């Protein structure tokens, strides 16, 4: 039986299985149904013939599903990283069909997780099933690592990887969680991620709020916070934290060449946000280079004092801001925290508390690795067009913990499309892309095994 | 009958009448029961024998009660300014008795408005009644002006004063709304007020919030706001708005001498807010001078972006801050608005909107005016100690609109005490102070009429 025949015969069951997994409301931010989703995944992998373990994480975090399959003596080992948790569904009113009831409309399957990341996960399981059914033994050894809190920054995953990393140390490559096709149906691949350091800055004034007539003599937490923040980044978008930019690694020649192949649509981004220009007036290649190779320092929220209508003549005693830094090599969360704390202290803001909220290392991608070259070849074969290869994503994931620290190169591809709407209402995949994803994964395994 | 006998005979009715007025929940911020309170005041003044008018304000604002009494041919005219509105009662759980049921405990009358400003208002009415009953005709012509939105910045009062000011133009003095005694039972008088200019600064980023991975290329409203704010005042507390400090009038020799008589307790203020030092390390006379003669630029509240737990990697599209400036002579709300707008424009913050919320001129006090000297003499006589005379309050009121623009000097005294808690839960007056307030007002009228 050919692969295409197998896909055609079993496609309805494949999408039904994906819908079954999507019906489990495993929202990690709400800690709901995570054990149920892990159990579903474990059972499905057992039916695939894998040796499955559901392993706990520290402090009662959601379990990690690990599964091994394929010949123990295969020449190559592929790590496959996915997650069974999803984003919250708010604003729920904007969904055209119930978010946890995957629904087909106009050739698409709508529902939370159909793309991110349940659709990518089941697609890989179904591709392995299809390989076994049509070709026999798998050509590589596979190690699945499927976690349950990617959407909240994978707080327990670094500890898990430290404890269990020997199970995949030395793997020849990692198939990362997600990916998709752009508006011209090209596959979009990526080989690395930015890191993320998240903090809360907390400023204090007097013991309680005061009448603002006392502003002559009493400190104001909102002012302390504003001044501390203004010491971190200036209106020219330069990060001012002493020494931070000195740690930023310049892109390599290979990375810069890879950038030239990326059809980055700066005009579409600009228009989507109703702007006359992007930041600093950047366009085209300059915008893309900054997008990938500049670290960021972002105020996610700033709050203190009166928030009602009109005016309240109050002097706030407390104010705080949440900040995230997107990290490029060679910045790390610990380094940024240390530089931030010292920078504030040196400028007289020792009173402003810095609390750590999130920390993920960046993972430098290698577009020339075996696993990346296999993905590029497979994407070219299935789509009939050259894929777009990002050295790394502007976004973040636990690629350092899972792959980079063990020397495992990674590549991400998946079943998304230009309007998949990960994290948004009406998340969807195209059914055609799901079928092509099976072909893509099979082709990828074939190339990866033989390279 | 002596004044003291009259007070003793009628005191229970006086406090009962005050309690009746306090039972009307005339909270201007909530626009509740304002007409009812105005009607109560008008009826009570009619019983006193005054010619009373309840006059509308523009745009359906609360009415102003105007009342005239005393001989038309009196040598002197006294304007009396009070207000019948009160502050909200939140946090209501912290009241020991219902805020709108005035309750006697331990020689005090507790309830919203017992001091600010219903107690001061009825005290003046009762003092005039006592004068008439014990001495006959009033020694001066009295013009009452009693408004209903002092606690929300008297937005309709300037227009009202422009329309009706001829009724009191040329008055010899104004008895301002409030005042009281300090912890050593000295009367505290004041002759002027700071002004207030209130604004909202509104910053924008893109059309909608964005994923913070786009912080490389998309503007962030929270950063725009922080930078605009940091351009207004620095960590050394210097107001940086171009030209603003050039307009600040230095205190006169007379004013500085008056300051020397004020027992300003900087240590108590510092300790009340749990601080090691006041702002800039100021103490004693230096702290007092800054408190009265420095303008302020205060963030009352700053809000934008994510406010929940943990981190949300979002780039806020909107952020805003409320600001108040306490104004000393010769700053005005319009001048500050103009300087603020130009300052922001000049520094590249033309995108940050400035919306006007509040505007009251400062009113420079005259501690040597006839009305002030009469109040000082009366306070000395009733308390048996030298009063504390503030050239002006660090706080604000519509004294410019009501008095200063018509050349009418003012002085404020009243029935408060060191723990009256205006605007706070468990607002109260001491019943002894209410009785002394009657003696004080009678004595004041006697001195003012004959000076």
* pLDDT per position as a tens digit, A183-212: 899 999 999 999 999 999 999 999 999 999
Of the candidates A322, A357, A394, the beta carbon closest to that of B213 is on A394
- A 186-205 residues inside an 8 A Cβ radius of B: 194, 196, 198, 205
- Rounded to an integer, what is the distance from CA A355 to the centroid of its chain? 23
Q: Has residue B259 got a pLDDT over 90?
A: no
Residue with tokens 């007289």: A348
Spatial CB neighbours of A265, under 8 Å, sequence gap ≥ 6 = none
* A80 part of a folded domain: yes
Q: Are B256 and B336 in contact (CB under 8 A)?
A: no
**Farthest CA pair distance, chain A:** 84
Closest chain B residue to the Cα of A324, Cα to Cα: B313
Plot region of B175 (φ>0 → left; ψ -120 to 50 → alpha; else → beta): beta
Distances (CA, A) of A416 to A28, A421, A429, B383: 21, 9, 6, 83
What is the overall mean pLDDT for chain A? 95
| Helices and strands in chain B: count of H runs, count of E runs | 12, 19
Distance from CA of A196 to the nearest CA of B (A): 9
Tell whether A78 and A227 lie within a shared domain.
no
- Domain carrying residue A116: 3-192+363-450
pLDDT of residue A90: 85
Q: How many CB atoms lie within 10 A of CB A240?
A: 15
**Bridge partner list, A298:** A324
Confidence of residue A115 (pLDDT cuts 50, 70, 90): very high
Eight-class DSSP state of B249: P
* B287 part of a folded domain: no
pLDDT of residue A257: 86
pLDDT of residue B97: 97
Q: Are A415 and A433 in contact (CB under 8 A)?
A: yes
* B152 part of a folded domain: yes
Contacts of B302 in chain A (CB under 8 A): 222, 225-226, 302-305, 319
* B268 part of a folded domain: no
Tell whether B446 and B321 lie within a shared domain.
no
pLDDT of residue B353: 98
**Pick among B212, B220, B228 to test the A interface (most A CBs inside 10 A):** B212
* A267 part of a folded domain: no
Task: Give tens-digit pLDDT for A25-44.
Answer: 999 989 999 999 999 999 99
**Within an 8 Å CB–CB cutoff, is residue B268 touching chain A?**
no
Eight-class DSSP state of B322: E
Lookup: tokens for A277: 């220009």
Reported pTM: 0.88
Q: Is B427 exposed, middle or buried (0-12, 13-18, 19+ CB in 10 A)?
A: buried
Indicate the range of A290-299, B309-318, B372-381 predicted with least confidence. Answer: B309-318
Q: Give the integer Cα–Cα distance in Å for A203 and A352.
A: 5
Contacts of A196 in chain B (CB under 8 A): 313
Tell whether B302 and B171 lie within a shared domain.
no
* B188 part of a folded domain: yes
pLDDT of residue B400: 96
Spatial CB neighbours of A312, under 8 Å, sequence gap ≥ 6 = A306, B300, B301, B322
Tell whether B20 and B169 lie within a shared domain.
yes
What mean pLDDT do residues A6-23 have? 98
Between A251 and B81, the more confident residue is B81
Write down the ipTM of this complex.
0.89
pLDDT of residue A435: 98
* B243 part of a folded domain: yes
Tell whether A182 and A200 lie within a shared domain.
no
* B280 part of a folded domain: no
What mean pLDDT do residues A372-377 have? 98
Tell whether B347 and B368 lie within a shared domain.
no
Q: Has residue A395 got a pLDDT over 90?
A: no
**Bridge partner list, B80:** B144, B175
Task: Give tens-digit pLDDT for B146-204.
Answer: 999 999 889 999 999 999 999 999 999 999 999 999 989 999 999 999 999 999 999 99
Residue with tokens 């001195």: B447
Distance from CA of A270 to the nearest CA of B (A): 8
Tell whether A180 and A45 lie within a shared domain.
yes
Q: Has residue A451 got a pLDDT over 80?
A: no
What mean pLDDT do residues B385-411 have? 94
Of the candidates B217, B266, B322, the beta carbon closest to that of A279 is on B217
Closest chain A residue to the Cα of B297, Cα to Cα: A215
**Within an 8 Å CB–CB cutoff, is residue B88 touching chain A?**
no
- CB contact (8 A) between residue B269 and residue A307: no
Instruction: Return the axis-axis angle of helices B34-48 and B3-22, rounded to nearest 10°.
Output: 160
User: Which secondary-structure segment (H or E) carries A16?
Assistant: helix A3-22
Q: Give the integer Cα–Cα distance in Å for A436 and B151.
A: 68
Tell whether B119 and B221 lie within a shared domain.
no
In what side-by-side order are the strands of the sheet with B108-110?
A: B103-105, B108-110, B428-430
Pair type for strands A77-83 and A141-147: parallel
Tell whether A12 and A61 lie within a shared domain.
yes
Tell whether A332 and A393 lie within a shared domain.
no
C-alpha dihedral over A429, A430, A431, A433, to 10 degrees?
A: -100
What mean pLDDT do residues A226-233 have? 98
User: What percentage of chain B exceeds 90 in pLDDT?
Assistant: 89
Query: In degrees, to the nearest 5, what angle opens at C-alpha B78 toward C-alphas B75 and B82?
Result: 170
Confidence of residue B451 (pLDDT cuts 50, 70, 90): confident
Nearest to A397 by CA among A358, A356, A359, A360: A360
Contacts of B336 in chain A (CB under 8 A): none
Q: Give the integer Cα–Cα distance in Å for B231 and A410.
A: 46
What mean pLDDT do residues B302-330 have? 94
- CB contact (8 A) between residue A311 and residue B218: no
- CB contact (8 A) between residue A211 and residue B152: no
What mean pLDDT do residues A388-412 have? 94
Residue with tokens 């410019």: B400
Q: Are A265 and A238 in contact (CB under 8 A)?
A: no
Tell whether A310 and A413 lie within a shared domain.
no
| Domain end among A343, A360, A377 | A360
**Within an 8 Å CB–CB cutoff, is residue B310 touching chain A?**
yes
Domain count, chain A: 2
Tell whether A328 and A398 lie within a shared domain.
no
CATH number at residue A152: 3.40.630.10
SS3 state of residue B115? coil
pLDDT of residue A238: 97
| Domain end among B309, B329, B360 | B360
pLDDT of residue A153: 86
CATH number at residue A219: 3.30.70.360
Q: Is B310 exposed, middle or buried (0-12, 13-18, 19+ CB in 10 A)?
A: middle
DSSP string, A38-64: HHHHHHHHHHTT-EEEEE--GGGPPPE
pLDDT of residue B258: 82
SS3 state of residue B14? helix
Residue with tokens 């002085």: B411
| Domain end among A327, A360, A393 | A360
SS3 state of residue A255? helix
């Amino acid at each position: 039986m050919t692969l295409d025949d197998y896909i055609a015969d079993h496609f309805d069951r494949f999408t039904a299985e994906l819908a079954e997994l999507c019906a489990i409301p495993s929202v990690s931010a709400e800690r709901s149904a995570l054990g149920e989703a892990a159990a579903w995944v474990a059972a499905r992998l057992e039916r695939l013939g894998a040796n499955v373990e559901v392993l706990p994480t520290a402090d009662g975090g959601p379990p990690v599903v690990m599964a091994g399959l394929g010949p123990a003596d295969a020449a190559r080992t592929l790590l496959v990283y996915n997650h069974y948790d999803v984003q919250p569904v708010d604003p729920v009113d904007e969904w055209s069909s119930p978010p946890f009831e995957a629904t087909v409309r106009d050739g698409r399957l709508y529902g939370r997780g159909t793309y991110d990341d349940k659709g990518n996960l089941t697609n890989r399981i179904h591709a392995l099933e299809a390989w076994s059914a049509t070709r026999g033994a798998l050509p590589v050894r596979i190690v699945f690592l499927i976690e349950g809190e990617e959407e909240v920054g994978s707080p327990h995953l670094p500890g898990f990887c430290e404890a269990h990393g020997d199970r995949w140390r030395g793997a020849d490559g990692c198939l990362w969680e997600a990916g998709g096709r752009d508006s011209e149906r090209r596959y979009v691949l990526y080989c690395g991620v930015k890191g993320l350091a998240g903090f809360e800055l907390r400023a204090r004034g007097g013991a309680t709020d005061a009448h603002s007539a006392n502003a002559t003599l009493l400190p104001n937490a909102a002012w302390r916070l504003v001044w501390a923040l203004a010491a971190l980044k200036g209106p020219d978008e330069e990060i001012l934290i002493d020494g931070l930019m000195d740690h930023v690694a310049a892109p390599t020649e290979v990375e810069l060449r890879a950038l030239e192949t990326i059809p980055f649509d700066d005009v579409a981004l600009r228009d989507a946000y109703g702007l006359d220009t992007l930041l600093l007036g950047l366009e085209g290649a300059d915008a893309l280079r900054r997008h990938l190779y500049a670290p960021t320092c972002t105020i996610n929220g700033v709050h203190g004092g009166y928030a009602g209508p009109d005016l309240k003549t109050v002097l706030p005693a407390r104010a705080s801001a949440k900040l995230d830094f997107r990290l490029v090599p060679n910045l790390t969360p610990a380094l940024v925290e240390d530089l931030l704390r010292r920078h504030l202290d040196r400028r007289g803001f020792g009173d402003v508390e810095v609390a750590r909220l999130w920390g993920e290392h960046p993972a430098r991608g290698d577009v020339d690795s075996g696993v990346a070259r296999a993905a590029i070849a497979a994407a070219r074969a299935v789509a009939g067009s050259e894929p777009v290869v990002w050295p790394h994503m502007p976004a973040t994931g636990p690629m350092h913990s899972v792959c980079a620290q063990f020397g495992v190169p990674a590549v991400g591809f998946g079943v998304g499309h230009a309007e998949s709407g990960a994290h948004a209402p009406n998340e969807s995949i195209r059914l055609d892309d799901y079928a092509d994803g099976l072909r893509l994964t099979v082709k990828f395994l074939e190339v990866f095994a033989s390279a």
